[in-house]
Amino acid sequence: MSHTPQRRWRRAFAPAAAVALLSGTILVAQAPPASAEPVQVGAGSYTTTPPAGASGPGDLNGAPVSPKVTADFDKPVATNDWWSSLIFQRYPDNPYGENLYAHPLSFKARSDGLEIGHTATPQIVADGLKYEYPHSPDLTLGVQGLDAPSARVADYSDWTVTADLSDSSRTLRATVGQGLPFAYADVSGGPVRVEFSAAPTIWHQDGGVLGATVNGRHYALFAPSGTAWSGSGTVLTADVGAEGYASVAALPDPADLDTYAEHAYSFVTGSTLTYDYDPDAATLTSRYGVTTEAREGSSQGTLLALYPHQWKESDTPLTDLEYASPRGPMRVVEGDHFTTELTTQGVLPSLPTVDSADHQRLRALIDAELDADDPWKGATDTYWSGKALGRLAQLVPIADSIGYDAGRDELLGLLKGRMEDWLTADGDGDDAQFHYNSQWDTLIGYPASFGSDSELNDHDFHYGYFVTAAATIARYDRAWIGQDQWGAMVETVLKDANNPDRGDDRFPWMRSFSPYAGHGWASGHAGFAAGNNQESSSEAMHFAASTALLGSLTGDDELRDLGVYMHTTQASAMSRYWQNSDGDNFPDAFAHDVVGMVWGDGGDHRIWWDGSPEELYGINYLPITAGSLYLGHDTEHAAAMHDSLVSRLGRDPQVWREIHWAHQALSDPQGALSGFEAQWQAYEPESGSSKAHTYQWLSTLAEVGTVDTSVTADTPHYAVFTKDGTRTHAAFNAGTQPITVTFSDGAELTVQPGRLATEEGDSGPDPDPDPTDPDDPGDLGDGTLHLGDGTLSGTPGAAADLDIPSAGGANHDGTPANPAVFEIDDVTATHDTGQTTRFTLPVDSGSSVGNAVQARVSYDLQGDGTFDRIETYNYFATNDLPGWETYTQAQGTRSSTGQLGDLDNGTVRLELWSALGNQDSRIRTGGPDGDPAVLRIPFHD
């Protein structure tokens, strides 16, 4: 039985300041305002009145809370960031917020100012399960006499925030940000006041510039020229006038004072990310820039400390300055910006289905989902409904790829029905609906779960599944996703989680993604001593992948590029900060090579519920989709992660085993498939997974191999695989016209609209096939030939079962004996160099034992009666259970002679016979339904 996560409720190891959560959350329903008509968005709608009894953003006791902002605050309310506890008061008795981890500095607001610290030495806590760089204040920056009743947010930008601490006559406005070694303060009502947490050693004092060491860490204080720092003991002040300013910097070394002094009066006033995705070059270039204002002199720019995922991917010159951080060493650049460049590896909507997979089994497994008493498994809230939508959406392209049109359409019907229910607010209190909260600038789905309403947690985790379902529907029904239909409402849901449009004041820009951190934050309020947290990085990646796909399918490049940016950037951060892929991200004393959660102050080898080791690893893998291939970009690292889990368990994974088979397949495809085959009938999938999707994933990778990142393509939606030195190229066309995709190794694929193609051809039937003329048996098309009554043809005939006579107890391995012969002649076609013969042959020997069917394919290139190429395949031993099994070329070649070339009025022959046994066997032929026998030859018209 699979275990399901109870994230955000079990907080048995929450940091100290959050221990109050252990007693549980008492949710007090907020009284809804007067009824209002739903807001129509295309065919969908949302409410502006919450459902009766629903909870909205609230404190620990369930009491409603309002955003803590100043009167001049004029932006959409942002949540889910490293500084969110400033704006979202989670604890009734704490109006100042929790620790803020900006890196390299940490902060905490209090009534008399802003604490500043920089912890350079990690602590290993919780019996070795967590490492942390806790906030340890070295000084407090404030105003003489300040006694602010609360902290409020005056402004924010992409990775900076301005905190306001004011009383009736004094004000401190401090701007701090990720990557900034400075804190900048504007003050009024009194002198700037700095109080050290211990007696400092003053090693430099010259007018407004003072250097001090406290608790072994070095700081510089900068007041305006013409002023001076004075005081004794632990308190210093500078009289900066009625409206003045000051800055504080953490120094790597006292010798660096002059470098920091050059930028001390160039105050950072904002930060902006811009990114440029170039599909033709498969590159993502990101610019991280700050705006500065010279408070005196003419200095521009500043010093910026880069995380490892930034400085290791940047050509911007680095200085020798460095800081320790919970993510590894931060390196410093000088100026007002830096850029990174990453290769975009592509996002596929699904993997192709290979011919060697048992298509009959895939169909039966899809039917098991469709025939379930409740395909939704009782889901009612946004998270579990989302997971059910995702599970069923993954089956749609699989059904399509095996020609199971009825199953595909039934699945699409299920998705449409549930999505339309969620995307429509009838105003009658229906169970599934979205509500827009204008006070918090957010869209909340009800019924909610895991604090997505009261804490604004996890919106990207939940809503990513809705985006996946919408993209899947759009792949097969463009009209459904139209702006006048359901597209506009889908985009409204998407933009609540991560909005690319800075001019859209309904939602903040990129709520759930922290651009400087390179990943998202899950908690809406960040009300923890350890800062904010992110557990399921993979569900955030799932949101990014689905956003890229939906943007391409709707022709919205802004959405597409947002998805590409988040997916590419977070893939770079995830392997480092959750799995220590570089080897220098975790402290040396931390004994684990993976964490389940990243916190503002460190990393934790635990998760939000009392889960198994399989769940700790797996929560950062699921859901497995074609957007999960990033987990295999480094094959050796993927193998190390799987081996790490197996070593910890002392056995193969048993919980969420299909999640771990899927992950194992990224480094050991055949081993993963073998594990599945041995257990597939006995295990229970994780709620967001299905046996059909797992089998398709494993069988595909077993045939095509592991991800090959050395090759790129000029489209957002591609992947390349390699096995035994042979590459397989795959690409998806999200547009409405055919495209030719060019790969960096010179390969090209022509891909039809809405289709997924590989170099061997389309992975599924064309939406509008151009049928071959059945009266012209020599019309080859793409090389797909169907078995008829002694014939091979480009189109399937009537369904039939043909007998293959028994071997009569003799051994005919390699030598045809009384074979069934299928042939096509007068064929003129071009040889696809480098491709091979493939076949899918449904066979059955009933309940008899010891039977085996064997195949031989022969090519007479000129039609002169001499076969130029003969391929004999290893026999296929049938089981003793009635029912179709699939014989494919994956059995391997027993022998081959001759060479292939172009066909010029040539002949192709397939022979099938019983190599062993005493029982006649059957082969299924003809018919577009079910699993007819197919021979695919490496030729095309």
- The predicted-structure confidence for 704-756, as pLDDT tens digits, reads as follows 999 999 999 999 999 999 999 999 999 999 999 999 999 999 999 999 999 99
Q: What's the whole-number mean pLDDT along residues 659-671? A: 98
Query: What is the separation of C-alpha 543 from the centre of its chain, rounded to a whole number of angstroms?
Result: 6
Tokens representing 351 are 């993997």
In the predicted model, is pLDDT for residue 764 greater than 90? no
Q: Tell whether the torsion through CA atoms of 566, 568, 573 and 579 is positive or negative.
A: positive
What is the pLDDT at residue 516? 98
- The Cα diameter of the chain in Å comes to 108
Q: Output the DSSP codes for 860-920.
A: ESSSSS--SEEEEEPPEE--SSSS-EEEEGGG-EEEEEE----EEEEEEEEEEEEEE-SS-
Identify residue 725 by its one-letter amino acid code. Answer: G
Q: What's the whole-number mean pLDDT along residues 10-29? A: 31
Residue in 856, 861, 772 with CA at minimum distance from that of residue 814: 856
Q: What is the DSSP letter of 197?
A: S
Burial of 220 from C-beta contacts in 10 A (0-12 / 13-18 / 19+)? buried
What is the pLDDT at residue 374? 96
Percentage of residues in the chain having pLDDT higher than 90: 81
Residues paired with residue 784 on neighbouring β-strands, in sequence order: 936
Query: What is the separation of C-alpha 368 from the centre of its chain, rounded to a whole number of angstroms?
Result: 28
Identify residue 454 by its one-letter amino acid code. Answer: S
Tokens representing 124 are 């290993």
Tokens representing 767 are 């939406």
Helix (H) or strand (E) holding 384: helix 382-401
In the predicted model, is pLDDT for residue 322 greater than 60? yes
What is the pLDDT at residue 80? 98
Confidence of residue 28 (pLDDT cuts 50, 70, 90): very low
Confidence of residue 428 (pLDDT cuts 50, 70, 90): low
The CA distance from 309 to 508, in Å, is 25
Tokens representing 865 are 């009666």
The CA distance from 212 to 201, in Å, is 5
Q: Helices marked H in 500-628 — which ranges?
A: 537-554, 557-577, 613-618
What is the pLDDT at residue 427? 56
What is the pLDDT at residue 782? 72
Query: What is the separation of C-alpha 659 from the centre of its chain, rounded to a whole number of angstroms?
Result: 15
Tokens representing 783 are 């090389």
The CA distance from 804 to 363, in Å, is 25
Q: Model-level pTM?
A: 0.80
Q: What's the whole-number mean pLDDT along residues 301-313? A: 98
Q: What's the whole-number mean pLDDT along residues 129-140? A: 98
What is the pLDDT at residue 763? 37
Q: What's the whole-number mean pLDDT along residues 506-510? A: 98
The CA distance from 877 to 498, in Å, is 53
Percentage of residues in the chain having pLDDT higher than 70: 93
- Tens-place pLDDT, residues 793-831: 888 877 788 889 999 889 999 999 889 999 999 899 988
Q: Which residues are catalytic?
A: 458, 535, 539
In the predicted model, is pLDDT for residue 16 greater than 60? no
CB 570 within 8 A of CB 651: no
Q: What is the DSSP letter of 599?
A: E
The CA distance from 723 to 715, in Å, is 23
- Tens-place pLDDT, residues 787-797: 888 889 888 87
Bridge pairing between strands 113-117 and 217-222? unpaired
Residue 778: how many other CB atoms lie within 10 Å: 19
What is the pLDDT at residue 35? 53
What is the pLDDT at residue 770? 37
Q: How far is CA 31 from CA 23, 38, 77, in A?
A: 24, 18, 22
Identify residue 536 by its one-letter amino acid code. Answer: S
What is the pLDDT at residue 3? 34
What is the pLDDT at residue 38? 93
The CA distance from 187 to 595, in Å, is 41
Residue in 533, 516, 465, 519 with CA at minimum distance from that of residue 493: 465
Helix (H) or strand (E) holding 802: strand 800-804
The CA distance from 133 to 602, in Å, is 6
The CATH number assigned to the domain with range 65-264 reads 2.70.98.30
**Among 106-110, 421-425, 701-705, 925-929, which stretch is predicted with the lowest mean pLDDT?**
925-929
Confidence of residue 430 (pLDDT cuts 50, 70, 90): low
User: What phi and psi values does residue 303 have, to the nearest 5 degrees?
Assistant: -110, 130
What is the pLDDT at residue 931? 61
Strands of 409-553 (E only): list them. 433-437, 442-446, 513-514, 519-520, 533-534
What is the pLDDT at residue 774? 34
Bridge pairing between strands 130-132 and 139-143? unpaired
Fold classified for 784-940 = Jelly Rolls (2.60.120)
